[in-house]
Structure 1
């Protein structure tokens, strides 16, 4: 059961990374494409609400002892995503659809690997 919960929370965390990457102030790398459609569209309140939802999901879904480790794993995934997004903005000038897709993958993988290390 915990494996399925970890996988579900990791997938949600991957989408949460996209939410944070689409915050106001994050530019698009190009005039067209997915990045241009979504860059800067998420306000602070929306990002915080999505984060609170993810934290609540983690707390409710895991056992009493495991939720803190899974929360650490989610935090690790978001830190890695923040760094990838920061580098993309610096090197490309902003986000693209491919950058957003990579954030999902990097965050989900980081959460899964970190949770596996902490929960075993």
Structure 2
């Protein structure tokens, strides 16, 4: 478990952490399962910024921009890099070998730049809307943590790696179906419980707010599955870039869902 924690924190955050003693399938699979917890530092920042926006200390748009800046710094922009690389690869043609070669280069082309700009604009717009409401901040935090479920979803048993090297090759197939089901179930239960507490605290229907949180988690999971399936179909499997893109795309979809449901709760 210690090796899995070190791999998770060392891979998904910029926090200084000692190297794992052993890197094997068990440790790598554990790191993928622990990925949602590595979003907690950024989640605390989001919660704080949402509180400041809620009491009018910060404009909601400024709080949203700061939230994205801090998240990029904490994650070393790793997921954004994956999103840009995948966008460039998928738009380079229908040949999987060519797509993987473009993704391997690491330089960002027009498609990757457009994907980054449009995705960050979407994230910022949704966060600005969510930070302006009491329930919205908790939904935003739920979306952030739930988006990291994409890591375990992409590493599930039966999902191949797209190439014989890199992060995808290391983690592909390391998460059992049972462990994944437990992880998603626990995430859903925690989100629903947190939503009920937020509903009580904000004098809104606990059932409605809990349901809104469940919707956000469901959308994040569903979107990650769609990204994974498309990657397997187009590339033959998953890579580290696919996992990063899955996180960012899931986050965007979950934030959009949160924005929709919070407008109905108002």
TM-score (norm. length: structure 2): 0.43
CA deviations over 1:6-52 (Å, ceiling 9, x no partner):
12211221111221111000000011100001000000121012112
**1:109 alignment counterpart:** 252
Cα distance in 1 between the residues matched to 2:136 and 2:260? 13
Task: Give the length in aligned residue pairs.
Answer: 120
1:76 correspondence with 2:219: yes
Unaligned runs of 5+ in 2: 1-133, 200-205
Matches within 5 A, 1:79-90: 79-90=222-233
**2:190 alignment counterpart:** 57
Q: Runs of 4 or more off by more than 3 Å in structure 1? A: none
Given that residues 228 and 238 in structure 2 are in contact (C-alpha distance below 8 angstroms), is that contact kept between their aligned partners in structure 1?
A: yes
TM-score (norm. length: structure 1): 0.92
- Root-mean-square deviation (CA, aligned residues, Å) is 1.3
Q: Who wins on radius of gyration, i.e. which is larger?
A: 2
The counterpart of 1:41, out of the listed 155, 164, 174, is 174
CA deviations over 1:56-87 (Å, ceiling 9, x no partner):
12111112121112212221222222111111
Cα distance in 1 between the residues matched to 2:140 and 2:259? 11
Of structures 1 and 2, the one scoring higher in RCO (CA 8 A, sep 6+) is 1
Cα distance in 2 between the residues matched to 1:109 and 1:61? 21
Given that residues 9 and 54 in structure 1 are in contact (C-alpha distance below 8 angstroms), is that contact kept between their aligned partners in structure 2?
A: no
